[in-house]
Amino acid sequence: MTGRFITFEGIDGAGKSTHIKRVAQHLRERGASLVQTREPGGTPLAESLRSLFLQQDMDGLTEALLVFAARRDHVQRVIAPALALGQTVLCDRFSDASFAYQGGGRGMDWQVLQTLAGWVQQGREPDLTFWFDVEPQVAAQRRAQAREADRLEQLDLDFFTRVRAAYARRADEAPMRFVRIDAGDSIEGVGRQVLQALENRGW
């Protein structure tokens, strides 16, 4: 028996974290056993690497290596065991974020990221990825109202425009896995889009 692996992606301020909770409630009501987690993070080691990632200045390759190291521990200790037990894993970001932020935002070579993903994930990909797509200007306004910006959130709109374009590229590469959510809609409207996608899959 294997569980379902569902990831939530989008630029900072897209609102994905709000809707992870709604998806968790929806699936629990239908009897699913859930694990909620995040990246970078999800294990003690990965959370330590997350702190370094968000606080220390570094180049794109160092960012990618740090995040993929955290991801390896996360997959081994949390994601793979949960799926093997038949649990559903809801993860706030996964490897698509590396392609978007380090590939699109930082300009890293796509093939290098694919190689790292192959080593770390050993072929494991999400069953479903919600891409919360929103204009970078809107996301920036939301972030400014919600919290103090971390190292990446302080970057300019051009950076987040490149990140958004890289997410679109990933969605084009895996159209059966990705569901684009219009995250510029109201919270209620976004919630309806997400639940409709789950219902379309009989989930």
Q: What is the pLDDT of residue 2?
A: 66
Closest CA to 8 of 180, 165, 192, 185: 180
Q: What is the pTM of this model?
A: 0.93
Binding site for ATP, by residue number, is 10-17
Look up tokens 């709109």; give the residue. 157
Q: What is the pLDDT of residue 43?
A: 98
Q: For the chain, what are the domain ranges?
A: 4-37+83-201
Q: What is the pLDDT along the chain (203 residues), one digit of tens a residue?
A: 568 999 999 998 888 888 999 999 999 999 999 999 999 999 999 999 999 999 999 999 999 999 999 999 999 999 999 999 999 999 999 999 999 999 999 999 999 999 999 999 999 999 999 999 999 989 888 877 766 766 777 778 899 999 999 999 999 999 999 999 999 999 999 999 999 999 999 99
150 backbone φψ class: left, alpha, beta (φ>0; ψ -120 to 50): beta
The single-letter DSSP state of residue 14 is: S
Do residues 180 and 171 make contact, with C-beta atoms less than 8 angstroms apart?
A: yes
In three state form, how does the secondary structure of 115-150 look?
Answer: HHHHHHHCCCCCCEEEEEECCHHHHHHHHHHHCCCC
CATH, range 4-37+83-201: 3.40.50.300
Binding site, by residue number, is 10-17
